[in-house]
Chains A and B, each alone.
Chain A
Amino acid sequence: MATLEELQKRIQRLEDIKQIEKLQRIYGYYHDYEEWEKVVDLYSDNAESVEECDYGVYKGKEGVRRYYIDLLKGGKDAKPRVGYMSIGMQIQGVVTVDPDGRNAKGRWYGFFVEARPILNLHDGELRQLWAHGIYENEYVKEDGKWKIKKLHFFLNFRTPYEDGWLKTPVVGHNGPDMNVPPDAPPTNFHPFPSGVHFPPHFKHPITGK
């Protein structure tokens, strides 16, 4: 029979997994509504980086702020554009908590339905798009709360509604932004049909490899 301490450790791990799933889903919901400041607040003050698609790597909490507020939002005082939509459904989350209970990793599918410009992030007519990709994220527990430490979104496709991924795998991605440049170039932009795989963080539950 397990001891009290052992049971506490076991239930703690389950709680941690649930908290992280919740964090990631809340990230998704804030992202859906372009609540960029709230998104930034989900990151640790010691955040490592955020990297999505081919935008490049934005380092530290300062980089996270620049990415969401300066780049995605278009500036601190920018107003949301009527008709803009990017709903990103967070699906199939697999969360692995380290034995120390302070660090964790998560893999998610992101499935997006969007109405946004493709000339760049802000200019031009709205286009309806399907997008899909994979998150491989890192989380850290600080003051009893789980926060995002590193977010990495690997784009699979971003295609016009009218075309589909076979016809037009990627639109709207022309490399890092010149006005809000990243701290480092993109590390992993290999969308469809490259066939490049984004390796999972998790070990095989049976073989352990």
Chain B
Amino acid sequence: MHKQVLLQRWSNMNLEELEKQVQLQEDIQEIEHLQRTYGYYFDNHMWQEIVDLFSDNAESVEIIDHGLFYGKKGVRRIYWDMFAGGGKPRQWPAWEQWSVIQIGGVVDVSPDGKTAWGRWQTWLTESLPLGAFPHNEWSHGYYENKYVKEDGKWKFSKLHWNDTFCTPIEHGWLKNAQLGWMPLPDADAPPTAFHPYPSGYHVPYHYKNPITGK
């Protein structure tokens, strides 16, 4: 009888451990899904869908040198008011296009399973206006994003995209690493970290070295 009780306890403990392991893999998978979906929505100007990927308690959004936007209010301001033109019918010229390819996520979930960090990089091809003229550009950047789990779903808590370079394709990053960006007038604060190539700036890692732990 005693042995049976012990075996049952061992089994329950292992079931609990297993559940934790399964939960962690699910969390990582869901966060990768969330980030990649953001990328597809961004490329297709699906701004309301993007706003809906953010927590109502979102911390902030910071994209290149557009400045810092606080809270869910800030999320709405940058994606909806600015990028989406407030939802007013807006015809993007057909030649204007960007693809922000989401590559290589390193996702770490906190031990309590409620928050997480992700580092990603992005390769971009785009055609955008600069002044009166369309420009074709290559661009690269890094994300260090924070996610939060609410009501069983993962959402963005903080998004920070750092620009490495944005160059006209006629030139290349060595000749001209920055073109066509601008701070947005309605930001809550200036950008915290706009240091494109060739500054040598390193976007800090959210994680420690997986082997040495440093």
Contact = CB atoms under 8 A, between A and B. Distances in A.
A in complex with B: yes
Measured as residues with beta carbon below 8 angstroms from the partner, the interface class of chain B is 20 to 34
Contact of B211 (A18, A33, A89, A145): A145
Interface string B78-117: 0000000000000000000000000111110000000000
A14 B164 contact: no
B18 interface: yes
Given A89-B103, A89-B121, A161 B174 contact: yes
B18 A25 contact: no
A15 B21 contact: yes
B173 interface: yes
B202 interface: yes
A22 interface: yes
A147 B211 contact: yes
B14 A22 contact: no
Interface in A127-163: 127-128, 145-147, 161-162
B18 A90 contact: no
Contacts of A91: 103-104
Most chain A beta-carbon neighbours within 10 Å: one of B119, B164, B174, B198: B174
B25 interface: yes
A32 B103 CA distance: 14
Nearest to B202: A33
Contacts of B14: 4, 8
Nearest to A17: B25
A161 B18 contact: no
A29 B198 contact: no
Nearest to A24: B104
A23 interface: yes
B155 interface: no
Contact of A18 (B25, B103, B138, B212): B25
A42 interface: yes
Interface stretch (A79-87, A97-105, A166-174, A200-208): A79-87
Identify the 7 closest CB pairs spanning chains A and B, nearest first.
Answer: A128-B174, A161-B172, A25-B104, A128-B172, A83-B198, A115-B174, A33-B202
Given A23-B210, A41-B211, A42-B209, 16 more contacts: A7-B18, A11-B25, A15-B24, A19-B210, A25-B105, A26-B207, A26-B209, A42-B210, A82-B200, A85-B173, A91-B104, A113-B138, A113-B173, A115-B174, A128-B173, A128-B174
